[in-house]
Structure 1
Amino acid sequence: MPGTHHVTRGGAPLTFALSPTVTATKVSVGPGDNNAYLLDGGGPLLLVDAADDAATLLDLLGERPLGTVVTTHRHRDHWQALATLAERADRLVAGRPDAEAVAEGAGVRTPDGVWDGGAVDFGEERLDVVGLVGHTPGSIVLAYRGPEGPTHLFTGDSLFPGGPGKTWSPEDFESLMDDLEAKVFNRFADDTVVHPGHGDGTTIGAERPHLQEWRQRGW
């Protein structure tokens, strides 16, 4: 049964409200069914992850101005369309420890590096930045706190329904779990909506009871 904010590769994009002033349009692209999110706060748009289908993303954008493209982490399936979308964008952003790798891989100017305590503005709105070390050295979560309703987190590949993102060593796993607990689960309420880099959405409340289970299984 499809979960929250379900989209399919090659299917229609899904537009939904984050608040009375901001909408998000979600689309699944590329062989990895990557999610890309286009946020509209009334000014130049913000794209979360220029994933592997430039044509679809450009079609989604249309003639509207693109202010910022944020890359949630350095893995190539999340930036394969970045070189094309960068030509339309005023600003590129990535987690500070991943910014040079994104620039080198995608062949673009070095994104502005952001980390804990930083923010990314779009129009009159803003996304707060949370840095998580583990899936990559510089993965980031973007937190939108609107004037009404729940907070929304764009988590890249660091948090999914059912667990954290993939890691490649016990040390990376512990780092990611520690950061998720301290910076996400201890900070955001249960009604906070999670929008991951692949697949359907979830909430912090739905995932919170499983933290110890994730630690015990080791992934």
Structure 2
Amino acid sequence: MTSPNARIDHLVTSGTFSLDGGTWDVDNNVWIVGDESEAIVIDAAHDAAAIEAALGGRTLVAVVCTHAHNDHIDAAPALAAATGAPILLHPDDLPLWKQTHPDRAPDGELADGLTLTVAGVELTVLHTPGHAPGAVCLYAPELSTVFTGDTLFQGGPGATGRSFSHFPTIVESIRQRLLTLPPDTVVRTGHGDPTTVGEESPHLQEWIQRGH
């Protein structure tokens, strides 16, 4: 049963994204799902202290990584060390993880169909490769929300112009796994503003024609 106090908290942290020899300034969305006593963090980006402060003393059940680009995982080890929470990542993203944290492995694996439970809320892992091989989204039907990391944004798919990414794959992931969700499902993204499945689904053919 969903906790009547289950909620989604949101903070934005700032830092850099680095891959393939380039570095860019980025603002990242960090999502916290839980109630007054426990929570999970989705994407521990840039600032472990700010994320820990936002938890407000709640038990952190897990640090969940939607993918292993450095801007989504750079604060994960410090947050895990401060809270004792395990870091969970899809194993297909281990090569990317090791670029940022060569000496600290994740604590557990995410897999398609795995269910994580916090505050009575179930979050189902959807493996959605394309932006990264091990990219996942987390679907919480009781909250009418899907956390998409960098797979789907307001206005289209995540970037596929760098190593480990593939445009046809991300389009198939979005078509099969995300646009099949109820239209009123809120899409909470890794960067930028939320959208809904219903707002994005009419544009699939445009994205395919636009290609990369």
Q: TM-score range by the shorter chain?
A: 0.7 to 0.9
Q: Structure 2 CA distance, aligned partners of 1:49 and 1:41?
A: 18
Q: Structure 2 CA distance, aligned partners of 1:91 and 1:176?
A: 28
Counterpart AA for 1:161: Q
Query: Please, which runs of 5 or more residues in structure 2 have no aligned partner?
Result: 16-25
Q: Structure 1 CA distance, aligned partners of 2:56 and 2:3?
A: 23
SS in 2 for 1:208: helix
SS in 2 for 1:90: coil
| Distance change >3 Å, CA 164–CA 37, structure 1 → 2 | same
Q: CA deviation at 1:94?
A: 1.4
The equivalent residue for 1:49 is 43
Asked if 1:60 corresponds to 2:60, the answer is: no
Superposed counterparts of 1:62-211, under 5 Å: 62-87=56-81, 88-99=83-94, 101-102=96-97, 105-106=100-101, 107-146=103-142, 151-168=144-161, 172-186=166-180, 188-211=181-204
Q: Encode CA deviations 1:136-157: one digit per residue, 9 max, x unaligned.
A: 00000000011xxx62000000
The equivalent residue for 1:215 is 208
Q: Structure 1 CA distance, aligned partners of 2:110 and 2:61?
A: 16
Query: Please, which runs of 5 or more residues in structure 1 have no aligned partner?
Result: 1-17
SS in 1 for 2:100: helix
Q: Encode CA deviations 1:103-159: one digit per residue, 9 max, x unaligned.
A: 66234332321222111222432210100111000000000011xxx6200000000
Q: Confirm or deny: 8 A CA contact 1:38 1:46 kept in the other structure.
A: yes
Q: Structure 2 CA distance, aligned partners of 1:96 and 1:194?
A: 24
Q: Confirm or deny: 8 A CA contact 1:133 1:176 kept in the other structure.
A: yes
Q: Structure 1 CA distance, aligned partners of 2:167 and 2:209?
A: 11
TM-score (norm 2): 0.85
| Distance change >3 Å, CA 189–CA 209, structure 1 → 2 | same
Q: Confirm or deny: 8 A CA contact 1:43 1:124 kept in the other structure.
A: no
Q: CA deviation at 1:63?
A: 1.9
